[in-house]
Amino acid sequence: MPAIDVQVRRFSVVSRRPFEEIVKKLAESIGQPDIEAFHKALGKARTAADLEAVVRNAIGPSELMEFIRFGAGEVLRKERQGQGPKILRLVVGNPLIMKEMAKTVPDAAAYAPITILIDERDDGVHISYDTMTSLLAPYGSQEALAVAKDLDEKVEDLLKNAAV
């Protein structure tokens, strides 16, 4: 398979709200399942309906769930005696959304779940997301792009709401 060039569109909002408030607001909209229990339940699912029920129980009002988080800022602050900006990477998604995109673009599974980056800067807290439509555009599947567009709208609304 030849190499594919992907031009990424990063959607960002900047907020003057405190970092911790933004993280809290995001967490209120994103499901926070016990990830080990979630994976066990997925493994036990025998039908599409079973799978859907497991996912529906794990997602939050945004229709997304958190898979893992990485505290990059914490790692950086270790080097700086506890000083420095806060940076948090949330890996979130919805397996049902990923499944729909991967039906026509298997590479979509490389981009989903998605990353939301929250980082403090001099001008405020940036909340960013690399849009799924930009990641999938080179593959040319209108079906996958329609699902990706819906996902982008969900995530962009989530970020905008967390910023206010």
Whether 5 maps to a domain, the answer reads no
**Predicted pLDDT of residue 1:** 61
Q: Helices 95-102 and 48-58, interaxial angle, to 10°?
A: 130
Residues 91 and 146: their CA atoms lie apart, in Å, by: 22
Count of structural domains within the chain: 1
| Secondary structure (3-state) at 80 | coil
Two tokens, residue 51: 């799978």
Can you say whether the dihedral through the CA atoms of 113, 4, 142, 153 is positive or negative?
positive
The conformational region for residue 92 under phi > 0 = left, psi -120 to 50 = alpha, else beta, is beta
Two tokens, residue 128: 């960013």
Whether 2 maps to a domain, the answer reads no
87 strand-pairing partners: 119
Whether 37 maps to a domain, the answer reads yes
**Predicted pLDDT of residue 142:** 97
Q: Look-up: residue for tokens 């499901």? A: 31
> ∠92-98-104 over CA atoms, to 5°?
155
**Predicted pLDDT of residue 105:** 96
**Residues of the chain falling short of pLDDT 70:** 1
Q: Look-up: residue for tokens 């960013």? A: 128
Whether 132 maps to a domain, the answer reads yes
- Chain segment 118-130, per-residue pLDDT in tens: 999 999 999 999 9
Can you say whether the dihedral through the CA atoms of 130, 38, 63, 25 is positive or negative?
negative
Whether 61 maps to a domain, the answer reads yes
CATH of the domain at 136: 3.30.310.70
Question: Residue 91 belongs to what domain range?
Answer: 10-163
